[in-house]
A and B are shown apart, each in its own frame.
Chain A
Amino acid sequence: MDAKPPVNGSVTRRQFLRNGARLMTMTGLGVAAGALATRSTGAAWVWQIDPAKCLRCGNCATQCVLEQSAVKCVHAYAVCGYCQLCTGFFWPEPNELTTAAENQLCPTAAIKRTYVEDPYYQYSIDEQLCIGCAKCVEGCNRFGNGSLFLQIRHDRCLNCNECAIARTCPGEAFRRVPVEHPYLLKTTSR
């Protein structure tokens, strides 16, 4: 059965089958695309951490595909108590309440302590130094008001299709949020 070149205008069996298969595939793709597109808002998704579910396991510092994790600690100043003895800043038993490295909880000294007025101190995070290990988050949440929490910083995050930290998070704290509202911040409303 040689494949003869087609006579003008007519189509070989294989060509006919091929055309048919192509048409069916196009229809199938069209249906699938249409079904999904009607649900699609056109919005893109980015990853974010829900601070209510975070268990401070330390994975955010180690599992991100980037060398320096895209997860950093964020401070909700409106929730903070501005304590002199901040348990997110100091070791559980500091020698004294100074910024000496031996007293600090943060392994990279990323929290800056500045005096505001008696007896209040402001604690702010230096994102260049923060590695997202959640030690301060644990200290703040265990004893204090819980104003320190982890968030993915979107000027660093690559927004991988499958977040490498998300799949190892023991609290299932990672979820997709719309790109227009990429943060899940703690506010004064609980």
Chain B
Amino acid sequence: MLRRLKFVGALGVMLLLALMVCAEQRFPPPDFENGYRLPSASTPAARQLWLQYADAGVLLAALGISVWLIYKKRSRRGLFWLSLFSLAYFGFYRKGCICPIGSPQNIVYGLFNPDYVVPATVLVFCFAPLVVALFAGRAFCAGVCPQGALQDLVLIKPVAVPLWLEQALSVIPYLFLGAGLIYAGTGTGFVICRYDPFVPFFRLSGGVFILTAGAAFLMAGMFVGRPYCRFLCPYGGLLRLASLVSKWRVRVTPDFCTQCRLCEQSCPFGAMREPAPSGTNPKWLWAERKRLGWLLALLPVLVAAGMWAGSKLSPAAAQLHPAVALAERYTRQQSHPVQYGLMTPESLSLQRAAEDPKAVLTAAADLRHRFDLACWLFGGWIGLVIGLKLVALSVRPGRTDFEPDRGACLACARCFAACPNERVRLGLMPAAGDPAPS
């Protein structure tokens, strides 16, 4: 099967090339007299397409099992084993790529670059965890994400992060998401993939910087639970938003909450919340509503301020694009020539630019325009995120029980064991009112 595919592949390549290029012949090789036959270049095939579909299938299955484990079986142990499987499959076998965390970049890249078509597998990887989150919360984070599973493994002594810090840092994933999407949309590159600290561990190789960063995250993760997931993961930001409107929510208690507060410290990720205070002083209510009103009015101001700030960022942000960097290097070379080494990438790219400087400079100018728009949008997005965060902080949650925050809960099922009702369900405790076992 493989050989046939290779043959077809090689034939296809030759046919394709023959169609693509004009038929001017190169000078042929010598005519050999002793019957020597020309070897052909070997063309080892890339990973088969059906295996990529299989990856998507495994993802869907793992998501389904995760949801079942969280809601039906309510089993921490099951989730733990599922996360180990995900670490092994999506992490070490697939080397962490393609992963849902980076997939929004592919989507945006596909939307803005007509010559890139988003493969179907990537669509599944991007949308499936989001759809699941819309219904069942962050089941992906719990049992399917290999980066999350790795961080879960190193968590030994969770330390509580102060809530104000947690809320502040929770804005960063949206910054990262915005940056990743504008760089993807402008065709600069996939910065979310570039700065993923755990994928080098999966690949077992990488640069010094990113390996050190990964080690730092893991060391921090020993005490601060899942730091990447909570404070950096851009896809986690999207899942957080989706979970806020999810149909089902993770509940600590299987049936009803007795307000015993035993679960208060049980979340290693700082997601547990207490019920809203009952009994409202009308004076407070009025003050709260006024504050909410001001914040809502402030929102467009923040967005506008963000847009202004974003437009200031544009020249620096554009530098990351190789074409813009090349144009900069070329213009700098005209005024302050630098001697680059022989056949270094810098000298070769300058040589190439010198052949058609106008094309290089116009391409860079076009990109700078695109970046202006993109950074303008990015700035507005940051303003919007900060504004909405402030609004969210001012809105009363309608909570009656102790339950995890919908968006922050990673659905890891660790808090279940703290609830007495859960223990009753598992048969570890007699129910209230039942006689104690003798």
Contact = CB atoms under 8 A, between A and B. Distances in A.
On whether A and B touch (CB less than 8 Å), the answer reads: yes
Interface of A: 1-3, 5, 12, 14, 18-19, 21-22, 25-26, 29, 32-33, 35-37, 39-46, 55-59, 65-67, 74-82, 116-117, 120, 122, 124, 138, 145, 153-155, 157-162, 167-172, 176, 179-185, 187-190
Contact of B344 (A57, A124, A179, A181): A57
Given A157-B46, A179-B49, A184-B13, 8 more contacts: A3-B399, A19-B247, A33-B127, A40-B119, A58-B345, A77-B39, A78-B29, A179-B48
Contact of B46 (A25, A159, A190): A159
A174 to B, nearest CB: 11
B422 to A, nearest CB: 21
A18 B133 CA distance: 13
B343 A56 contact: yes
A42 B237 CA distance: 28
B36 to A, nearest CB: 5
B363 to A, nearest CB: 11
Contacts of B135: 22
Nearest to B8: A180
Contacts of B345: 55, 57-59, 168-170
A37 to B, nearest CB: 6
A44 B45 contact: no
Contact of B107 (A36, A67, A145, A180): A36
Contacts of B245: 18-19, 21-22, 25
B1 interface: no
Nearest to A21: B245
A145 B174 CA distance: 53
**Sorted from nearest, which 8 A-B pairs have the closest CB atoms?**
A3-B398, A170-B349, A154-B46, A155-B44, A162-B190, A21-B245, A170-B345, A55-B348
A44 B119 contact: yes
B47 A39 contact: no
B156 to A, nearest CB: 30
14 contacts: A3-B276, A18-B245, A18-B246, A25-B245, A26-B131, A46-B47, A65-B200, A65-B206, A66-B203, A160-B97, A162-B194, A182-B43, A189-B17, A189-B26
A37 B110 CA distance: 11
Contacts, number: 216
Contacts of B102: 161
B41 A145 contact: no
Interface residues on B, range: 35 or more
A112 B349 CA distance: 32
B222 interface: no
B107 A117 contact: no
Interface of B: 9-10, 12-14, 16-18, 21-30, 32-34, 36, 38-41, 43-49, 52, 95, 97-98, 102, 105-107, 110-111, 116-121, 123, 127, 130-131, 134-135, 189-190, 193-194, 200, 203, 205-206, 242, 244-247, 276, 278, 280, 285, 322, 343-346, 348-349, 351-352, 396, 398-400
A160 to B, nearest CB: 6
Most buried by B among A80, A188, A189: A189
A44 B247 CA distance: 34
Contact of A189 (B25, B203, B343): B25
Contacts of A154: 44-47
A70 to B, nearest CB: 11
B140 to A, nearest CB: 15
A81 B117 contact: no
Contacts of B27: 145
A168 B46 CA distance: 23
A43 to B, nearest CB: 6
